[in-house]
Amino acid sequence: MFHKRMNRWRVPKGAELTEMDKKILYYQNKGCLVPTRKLIKTPEQIEGIRRSGVINTGVLDLVEENIHAGMSTAEIDKMVYDYTVSHGAIPAPLNYEGFPKSVCTSINEVVCHGIPSEDEILEEGDIINVDVSTILDGYYSDASRMFIIGKTTPEKEKLVRVAKECLQVGMEAAKPYCFVGDIGNAIEKHARKNGFSIVRDLCGHGVGLEFHEEPDVEHFGKKSTGMLLVPGMVFTIEPMVNMGTWEVFIDEEDGWTVVTEDELPSAQWEHTFLMTDNGLEILTH
Contacts of 43 (CB under 8 A, 6+ apart): none
Q: Minimum distance from CB of 125 to Co ion (Å)?
A: 27
Q: How far apart are CA 215 and CA 236, in angstroms?
A: 10
Of the candidate residues 7, 73, 102, 236, the single one contacting Co ion (CB under 5 A): 236
Contact residue for Co ion among 142, 165, 188, 213 (CB under 5 A): 142
* 218 is a contact residue toward Co ion (CB under 5 A): no
Binding of residue 270 to ligand MF3 (CB under 6 A) = yes
Min dist CB 210 to ligand MF3, Å, is 11
Q: What is the DSSP letter of 11?
A: -
Total residue count of the chain as it appears in this document: 285
Is omega for the bond preceding 43 within 30 degrees of 0, making it cis?
no
Is 212 in a helix, a strand, or coil? coil
The Cα 59–Cα 66 span in angstroms is 11
In whole angstroms, give the CA distance from residue 228 to residue 271: 19
Say whether residue 93 binds ligand MF3 (CB under 6 A).
yes
Is 142 a residue that touches ligand MF3 (CB under 6 A)?
A: yes
Would you count residue 188 as binding ligand MF3 (CB under 6 A)? no
- Quick one: 9 or 56, whose CB is closer to ligand MF3? 56
For residue 201, the minimal CB distance to ligand MF3 (Å) is 13
Query: With CB under 6 A as the contact rule, which of the stretches 23-31, 34-42, 93-101, 244-252 interacts with ligand MF3?
Result: 93-101
What 3-state DSSP class applies to 170?
helix
Q: How far is the CB of 96 from ligand MF3 (least distance, A)?
A: 4
Query: Read out DSSP for 136-156?
Result: ETTEEEEEEEEEE-S---HHH
Of residues 96, 231, 244, 281, which one binds ligand MF3 by CB under 6 A? 96
Q: How far apart are CA 167 and CA 175, in angstroms?
A: 14
Q: Does 238 bind ligand MF3 (CB under 6 A)?
A: yes
The binder of ligand MF3 chosen from 104, 110, 191, 199 (CB under 6 A): 104
User: Which stretch in 16-24, 31-39, 90-98, 161-169 sits in contact with ligand MF3 by CB under 6 A?
Assistant: 90-98
Contact region for Co ion (CB under 5 A) — 89-97, 150-158, 188-196, 236-244?
Answer: 236-244
Largest CA distance in the chain: 65
Given a contact cutoff of 8 angstroms between Cβ atoms, the answer to whether 210 and 41 are in contact is: no
Looking at beta carbons only, is 97 or 253 nearer to ligand MF3?
97
- Alpha carbons 227 and 231: distance in angstroms, whole number: 13
- Site for ligand MF3 (CB under 6 A): which residue of 77, 109, 120, 131? 131
- How many positions of this chain bind ligand MF3 (CB under 6 A)? 11
199 strand-pairing partners:
none
Give the contacts of 72 (CB within 8 A, at least 6 positions apart). 116, 117, 118, 119, 120, 121, 122
Minimum Å gap between C-beta 142 and Co ion is 4
Q: How many C-beta atoms lie closer than 10 Å to residue 240's C-beta?
A: 30
The binding site for Co ion (CB under 5 A) comprises 142, 236
The binding site for ligand MF3 (CB under 6 A) comprises 93, 96-97, 99, 104, 113, 131, 133, 142, 238, 270
